[in-house]
Chains A and B, each alone.
Chain A
Amino acid sequence: MPEHRLIRDCLAELAAQLPPPVVAELADGLFQTCQRYLRQGLGQDAAAKAALAEFGEPRAIVAAFARASPARRAARTLLATGPLAGACWAAVLIGNHAWTWPRPAHHAHCAWHRAAVIALLASAAFSGSYRSARRTAAAACLGLTALDATMLAATAVIAPSVIWPVIVAATASAARLSYSVRALRAIHAG
């Protein structure tokens, strides 16, 4: 049985934000709700309107999916734990008098990279848009993966002078890198 125009419009609005399998599941739910009203004796228009009223506004449904999305959860976790990893590396850099190191341009590049990742994480963590949260969280996870991989590679160079802070910072970065990769998989799947 073909869907009512109002139902099709609602599904089109949902499809603009949500992945196709989610929309297929919602379409089945809406279809069955509409069928229940038709069985109760309502006409096509009244049944479609009643089903949509019971289902809720597409914007509210998308927002509920965005709140429960792996992208938003990953962004919030990484934002909350970021200061801890940052503090570990700050201790390493201070202990090694990083301000005396050469290549200040490289330091500035790292600072911009970190700022961009934090901005992306904040955007994903508080986004009400499922698609936007997914895109920005994926970009942030890729950025963090690159940042942590760089810091881990640099560990070999700075390790000899301060051992235990480097071990703690490298462990924090390795754990975050592992989480970022898992989060990327979850974001891609969901």
Chain B
Amino acid sequence: MRAEELKGHLDALLLATLEDGPRHGYAVIEALRQSTGGRLELPTGTIYPALHRLERARLIAGSWTVVGGRQRREYRLTAAGARALSGKRADWADFAAIITAALAARSCPSTA
């Protein structure tokens, strides 16, 4: 799946990776890779700006830790982020149901 096809859904995917607990940027990327079966063709460097955007929107909160002498920024889902994820899941379920119904094979004959 290409990056442009993800447009509008990346935020929900990133929020979902933090649902089980805090993760740092690379762990978020790894979780995303596992949850999508590695089928996302997304430059991993562009995940970080998305995380910063979500942090500014207060959907996630970041904090610095030091691991092996390296600075590492860890993110956790906020209460607002959990609510946003829940809403995005419901929206996706509605959207998927509508498109699935519209694309399903029709049994009625064509009028042409």
Contacts and interface: CB of A to CB of B under 8 A. Distances in A.
B88 interface: no
A71 B27 CA distance: 28
A29 B71 contact: no
Contacts of A29: 25-26, 29, 44-45, 48
B16 to A, nearest CB: 19
Interface residues of A, number: 26
Interface of B: 24-26, 29, 43-46, 48-50, 52-53, 56, 64, 70-73
B72 A56 contact: no
A26 B70 contact: no
B26 A61 contact: no
A7 to B, nearest CB: 12
A56 B44 contact: yes
8 contacts: A24-B71, A25-B25, A25-B73, A55-B44, A61-B45, A64-B50, A65-B52, A68-B50
A29 B75 CA distance: 14
A28 B24 contact: yes
Contacts of A31: 70
Grouping DSSP codes into helix (H, G, I), strand (E, B) and loop, the A interface class, with mixed when no group exceeds half, is helix
A190 B52 CA distance: 9
Interface in A1-52: 21-22, 24-33
A177 B57 CA distance: 21
A133 to B, nearest CB: 13
Interface in A96-124: none
B72 A28 contact: yes
B49 A67 contact: yes
B43 A25 contact: no
Given A65-B49, A68-B53, A28 B25 contact: yes
A26 B46 CA distance: 10
A54 B33 CA distance: 12
A27 B70 contact: yes
